[in-house]
Structure 1
Amino acid sequence: MDELGRQIAISKKDLPTLSDTTMVREALDVDKGQCQRCGSLFSQEKHFLPNGNYYCVACLQFGRLTNEDVLLSKEDNDYQQRKVCFDWQGTFTPPQQEIADSLLKNNKKKQHSLVWAVTGSGKTEMIFPIIQQVLSIGGRVGITSPRIDVCRELFPRIQQAFPEENALLLYGNSEEKYRYNKLTVCTTHQLFHFYHAFDLLIVDEIDAFPYEGNQQLRFAVRQARKPEGLYVYLTATPSQSLLAEIQETFAIMKLPIRYHQRPLIVPEVYWYEHWASCYQRKWKLKKLLRLLNELLQDNAVLVFCPSIAYMKKLYAAVKAYFPPELIACVSSQDEQRKEKVQAMRDQVYRVLFTTTILERGVTFEKVSVIIMGANHPIYTKSALVQIAGRVDRKGEFNGGRVVFFLNQQTPAIRMACQEIKEMNKLAKRWRTNAL
């Protein structure tokens, strides 16, 4: 078996050719009617092939599994202590240092951890010490997120901090194929290919779509961790269900202060009666154009849209009023998604229309944010808080603003604004107590 450290599916008839396999599992548990790769249930009455074999319909995108297949995995139990090259030139604030130290202590105590920290607080940097600790004893570390863009942003920072680890980035169409390594960054979907692989599994943005409420991805996360391994969950917006689920098994650490000590930007809520059809008429579009020109005096602007179809129509209407090279749109369907996001980061674009793919985990300097139709059902409280958190994440304060356009007030909008204000109050108390 040449794929040490993860699991592969193979037909039972090919099994004798593999002499080095340490673990063989039935791909489908026929008695339970459950797939052992994704955890989904299958029906013996519905999910069968012409030859009578059963199969799992839920994870077909990873290759069809039948009751004639097995899952092979070979655990990595090479725990040789070694020196890990750690090259990070930054410094922690006292609150960051406290959380980083707590993660190290929790790791030694074999306790899972949740870091509940506001957007822009430096969550990625706070996990560096525990990564170094696990790697130095020969352990294997996985860093995973439901969002491709989050993984893409995380990976170069991990590479820079651990330059000799030969880290690997995995997602659906990633440039590099799987190879064994000790430090992997991947989307949560890639965890279907791992079984008892990681001594430390860090799940970034654990409340994000599509992970939140997805039982298959939860199963994959459980399977990927070694039985004695640990979880570290990272989020700025944990759900109440998550907090209730982990309260007895996780140490929960809260950080309401951003790295630069400035408060979160409180959203400005503006009524926009015709936001849903504003692209149809110039008089309907004026309100958006006026605000864009106002915000562009100081910053570039991210315009969040509730759907791809709406985004494309709005972008087509607005781009007539701006130089074409300064405005773009991007979504999950865009083949140039990676390049466009980088161009916005490099300040090539002045206006970028986007969907919720950029709601979290990505950092742009000198931006303001507009949410079109903040009352749309797709914008949960967590999504609104995360989008607002794109503003003023780093660098000097530049007057970045967050604007919610809506034509109906919703509980999600009220709760998002309230949570941001409460976090700012808590951060103020923390700063006062530290003086």
Structure 2
Amino acid sequence: MVIYGKQEVYKIGVMIQAAADETVRYREAVKITKGQLYCNRCGSHFSLREVRLPAGSYYCPGCVLYGRLTDQDQLVSIHRKEEAEVLQTKPQIHCRWLGELTRQQSRMAEELIRCVDSRENVLLWAVTGAGKTEMLYPLIENALNEGKQIAIASPRIDVCRELYPRLVAAFPDVAILLRYGKALEQWQEFELLVCTTHQLLHFYQAFDLLVVDESDAFPYEGDPLLAFGTTQALKPMGVRVCLTATPTKNLLQKAKSENWQVLHLPQRYHRRPLVVPELFFLEDWRNLAKYPLRLARVLRICEQLLKENQVLFFCPDIAFMKHITKVLQEKLPQKKITFVSAQDPLREEKILQLRNKQWDILLCTTILERGVTFERVSVVVMGAEHEVFNKSVLVQIAGRVDRKGTQRNGRVLFFFQEQTLAIRKAIKEIIQMNQLAKKEAKR
């Protein structure tokens, strides 16, 4: 068994050391009642008939990937005593970010602080490229100076990797820890945790402020286990802030039913509009190589895009991505072309290489739909009618273009065989956001 500092541990029979200003809490790992097993770590419940081990004990299969819990185990956590939180004094913390918030961003930042101070959960609905991370800086600074324990979690590893260095640069005097499944960083005591939403299952009533970035993203959206972990990680009086550019109906309904504050920012920080996708009909795109005229059209468009920008080329699945990569490499030998997916061990390096202009075209799955920023890119979506490209995904993909730097005429192209409701809804939402941003600019 590995004990990670103040993370919850899962087995009994281990000496738990607590400092003078800390207290140790024990609770059942699983609860058995009325023929049912209830897991206190993930919230799952099962019939005892399903979860009996050969030795006679019972376990939770819902979160077995995080270490098996049985009715013989306890969950153990270490907490700072309340009086210690009040008496603890330390130097004032200042944000070192050198940028400046726009008027709209400043208004959102002030509202976030007000909501958290009044213990109101918040949904911040801001378009892609609105500068959500920068709007968090005043809130984080304020919470740190009040001695609050903070976590910023996201369902996506790439988002966590993107957030971590920016937060370290903005708060160099703060102990910040990055945690995800295969993170190489050693455990250390922290004031601010950046982690995947899965990691929250390892904490119990640990955080005063919990920010969930990209809260509509897979696999967090619709996963009761991760939702339970998020709730469990908050202190009883803790506050949750959810960030998204594409809230789902479920998220909006949850915010309404639980009386969350909903803050809406339709304008990007640089005040340029979202790029509206261009539609290109392409029959039998999966077998593109069999049709010389259709392939020539796609190649010609890629070459046009490359005159001013690099290209992010989104594919609906890995098999097609690998196939079309070979086709592009063969037909455009003078261009530097590669692909990346969640299975790629060089995933992080390839993303960094694209930022360093080492690739002309990077083909990818939906892992790069959100949470990553490149300065000069255009976007191609091949097979935009595919089920993996729902409305939210298409809006997020389109939002990769013109996020930072000077305008470089970035374009968003959807190639499709059938125009779906998701495609139409994505374009409609982008146009509506641009219209709202125009109105906002006049206020």
CA contact (8 A) 2:16 2:24 kept: no
Q: 1:282-301 CA distances to partner (integer Å, 9 max, x unpaired)? A: 45532321211111111100
Q: Which residue of 1 aligns with 2:394?
A: 384
Shift of 1:185: 0.3
Q: Which residue of 1 aligns with 2:47?
A: 43
Distance 1:168 1:280, change over 3 A: farther
Q: Which residue of 1 aligns with 2:407?
A: 397
Shift of 1:430: 1.1
Distance 1:19 1:163, change over 3 A: closer
Q: Distance in 2 between matches of 1:145 and 1:279?
A: 38
Q: Distance in 1 between matches of 2:323 and 2:428?
A: 32
Alignment of 1:307-318 (within 5 A): 307-318=317-328
Q: Which residue of 1 aligns with 2:95?
A: 86
Structure 2 residue 269 is matched with structure 1 residue 259: yes
Q: Which residue of 2 aligns with 1:27?
A: 29
Distance 1:44 1:398, change over 3 A: same
Task: Tell me how large the CA RMSD over aligned residues is.
Answer: 1.6
Structure 2 residue 19 is matched with structure 1 residue 18: no
Q: Distance in 1 between matches of 2:329 and 2:79?
A: 53
Alignment of 1:27-426 (within 5 A): 27-31=29-33, 32-77=36-81, 78-79=84-85, 80-82=88-90, 83-247=92-256, 248-279=258-289, 282-323=292-333, 326-426=336-436
Distance 1:407 1:110, change over 3 A: same
- Tell me which amino acid in the other structure corresponds to 2:169: Q
TM-score by structure 1 length? 0.95
Where in structure 2 are there 5+ consecutive unaligned residues?
Answer: none
Q: Distance in 1 between matches of 2:135 and 2:331?
A: 43
SS in 2 for 1:75: strand
Distance 1:378 1:132, change over 3 A: same
Distance 1:55 1:2, change over 3 A: closer
User: Is the deviation greater in 79-88 or in 329-338?
Assistant: 79-88
Q: Distance in 1 between matches of 2:215 and 2:191?
A: 22
User: Is the deviation greater in 374-383 or in 278-287?
Assistant: 278-287
Q: Which residue of 1 aligns with 2:9?
A: 8
Shift of 1:310: 1.4
Q: Distance in 2 between matches of 1:62 and 1:281?
A: 49
Q: 1:67-92 CA distances to partner (integer Å, 9 max, x unpaired)? A: 11111111234422431132011101
User: Is the deviation greater in 48-57 or in 370-379?
Assistant: 48-57
Shift of 1:281: 5.4
CA contact (8 A) 2:28 2:71 kept: yes
CA contact (8 A) 1:277 1:284 kept: no
Where in structure 1 are there 5+ consecutive unaligned residues?
Answer: none
User: Is the deviation greater in 356-365 or in 316-325?
Assistant: 316-325
CA contact (8 A) 2:175 2:189 kept: no
Count how many residue pairs are aligned between Structure 1 and Structure 2: 430
TM-score by structure 2 length? 0.94
